Amino acid sequence: MAYVQGPTSITYTFTDDDGASSRETVKLPLGVSAVNIGSWAATYAGEVTAVSNAALTRYSITSEYYDDTFPVAAPGSDVENKGVFTFRTANNGSSSLTIPSIIEAVLIATGTRLSTYIDLANVLIAPVVAALVSGINVGGTVIAPATNNGIDLRSVKDAYKQNRSSQKSQGNRG
């Protein structure tokens, strides 16, 4: 697979004196470097706030990469069959994430947890859990995911398969 950079979007979020919020999105052309995207977004934020008396509370840069081989899902795949992983976090809380269309081969095959729970020792699962807890070495730097509040993931508390609803007919790839 080869990931190709798609459009970059920058969304500015404003708040007025009533606390109401509003967003404005601009897009950048292809081929702009990551460094230049960041500096342009910050500069443009200054231009935008000069013509508004609302407060700019935040802005987000979304860089999109898509697989230009346009992969096709396996017959019988179903994104509503999710692998649910709940992690213990560094602040003694918990945090969950899901993997769509989890394969049957990673489920526990025998015993009372038959076909419901995920086998954490499975050769496909263990590396993913390790990446989430311990991180991945990227160019000499280990980068480890966290919760959306920035709390480290420590260990798997629970992992199972569950059917959960998803968006339908949203798979348009252009």
Looking at the Cβ atoms of 6 and 88, the one nearer to another protein is 6
Which DSSP category does 118 fall into? B
Pick from 27, 25, 1, 30: nearest CA to 11: 25
User: Closest distance between another protein and the C-beta of residue 93, in Å?
Assistant: 14
DSSP element (H, E) containing 39? helix 34-50
| Least spacing, CB of residue 110 vs another protein, in Å | 19
| Closer to another protein by Cβ: residue 110 or 172 | 172
In angstroms, what is the minimal distance from the CB of 78 to another protein?
5
For the bound state, the minimum distance from the C-beta of residue 142 to another protein, rounded and expressed in Å, comes to 10
Calpha distance 25→107 (Å, rounded): 42
DSSP state of 113: T
Tell me whether residue 36 or residue 115 sits nearer to another protein (CB atom). Answer: 36
Q: Is 86 helix (H, G, I), strand (E, B) or coil?
A: strand
Q: Judged by CB, which is closer to another protein: 44, or 160? A: 44
Give me the residues paired with residue 53 across strands.
none
The β-bridge partners of 22 are 14
Nearer to another protein, 105 or 114 (CB): 105
| DSSP state for residue 85 in the 8-state scheme | E
CB atoms within 10 A of CB 118: 23
Distance of closest approach, residue 114 Cβ to another protein, in angstroms? 18
